[in-house]
Chain A
Amino acid sequence: MVLDPPSPFDMDGKVAIVTGSGRGLGKAMAKALAAAGAQVVCAARTPEQIEQTVAEITSDGGTAIAVPTDVTSSAAVDALVARAVEAYGRLDVMIANAGGGGGPQNLEFWEYPDDAFESVVATNLKSAFYSDRAAARQFVAQGEGGVIVNVASGTALRGNQQFAYPTAKGGVISLTKSAATMLAKHDIRVNAIVPGYINQRPPRDEQEAEVRRNRGVRVPVRRLGDWWELGPLALYLASDASRYVTGELFIIDGGGLAGGLAPVTFAPAHEIGAAS
Chain B
Amino acid sequence: MTTSGTPVDLAALPGPAHLRLDGKRALIVAAESPVGAAIARAYAQAGAELALAVLRPDEAVVSAKRLQRELEGLGTRSTVYVMDVVLGKNVQVTTRQIAKELGGVDIAVCASDLFLGKPIGRTSDSELQQVMAYNFNAHFFVARSASDEMRRNDPAGGRIILLSHVLGERGLSNTAAYGAAHGATQQLVRSLSQELAPQGVTINGISTGWMDWMQDRLDERNDDAGRAVRFTLPRRAGSPEDVAPMAVWLAGSGAGNVTGQVFHVDGGLTQHL
Count the A residues whose beta carbon is within 8 Å of the partner chain — how many? Answer: 22
Q: Does B224 contact A (CB under 8 A)?
A: yes
Collect the chain A residues with CB atoms within 8 Å of residue B166's CB.
261
Q: Which of A134-174 contact B (CB under 8 A)?
A: 154-155, 158-160
Q: Which of A226-276 contact B (CB under 8 A)?
A: 255-256, 258-265, 267-271, 274
The A/B interface has a contact count, at CB < 8 Å, of 59
- Establish whether residues B231 and A258, one from each chain, have CB atoms under 8 Å apart when the complex forms: no
Q: Does A220 contact B (CB under 8 A)?
A: yes
- Establish whether residues B231 and A261, one from each chain, have CB atoms under 8 Å apart when the complex forms: yes
Collect the chain A residues with CB atoms within 8 Å of residue B4's CB.
none
Query: When A261-B209, A263-B224 are in contact, do A255 and B171 touch as well, CB less than 8 Å?
Result: yes
- Complex Cα distance, B166 from A158, in Å, reads 15
Q: Does B227 contact A (CB under 8 A)?
A: yes
- Establish whether residues A263 and B225, one from each chain, have CB atoms under 8 Å apart when the complex forms: yes
In the assembled complex, the CB of A165 is this many whole angstroms from the nearest CB of chain B, namely: 12
Collect the chain A residues with CB atoms within 8 Å of residue B172's CB.
259, 261-262
Query: When A259-B170, A259-B171, A261-B166 are in contact, do A158 and B272 touch as well, CB less than 8 Å?
Result: yes
B69-77, B198-206, B263-271 - the one binding chain A: B263-271
Collect the chain A residues with CB atoms within 8 Å of residue B62's CB.
none
Count the B residues whose beta carbon is within 8 Å of the partner chain — how many? Answer: 23
- Complex Cα distance, B210 from A255, in Å, reads 21
> Which residue of the partner chain A has the closest CB to B226?
A263
Query: When A154-B273, A158-B273, A269-B272 are in contact, do A264 and B224 touch as well, CB less than 8 Å?
Result: yes
- Complex Cα distance, B210 from A262, in Å, reads 11
- Complex Cα distance, B188 from A17, in Å, reads 45
In this complex, which of B173, B218, B224, B231 has the most chain A Cβ atoms within 10 angstroms of its Cβ?
B231
- Complex Cα distance, B179 from A144, in Å, reads 45
Collect the chain A residues with CB atoms within 8 Å of residue B268's CB.
159
> Which residue of the partner chain A has the closest CB to B229?
A263
- Complex Cα distance, B171 from A260, in Å, reads 8
In the assembled complex, the CB of B140 is this many whole angstroms from the nearest CB of chain A, namely: 25
In the assembled complex, the CB of A161 is this many whole angstroms from the nearest CB of chain B, namely: 9
- Establish whether residues A263 and B273, one from each chain, have CB atoms under 8 Å apart when the complex forms: no
Q: Which of B218-237 contact A (CB under 8 A)?
A: 218, 222, 224-225, 227-228, 230-231, 233
> Which residue of the partner chain A has the closest CB to B165?
A261
List 9 tightest A-B contacts by C-beta distance, closest first. Answer: A263-B228, A264-B224, A159-B272, A269-B273, A158-B273, A258-B171, A259-B171, A158-B272, A268-B231
Q: Assuming A154-B273, A267-B227, what are 6 further A-B pairs, CB within 8 angstroms? A: A159-B272, A261-B270, A263-B231, A264-B225, A264-B227, A271-B230
Spell out A's residues near B (CB within 8 Å): 154-155, 158-160, 220, 255-256, 258-265, 267-271, 274
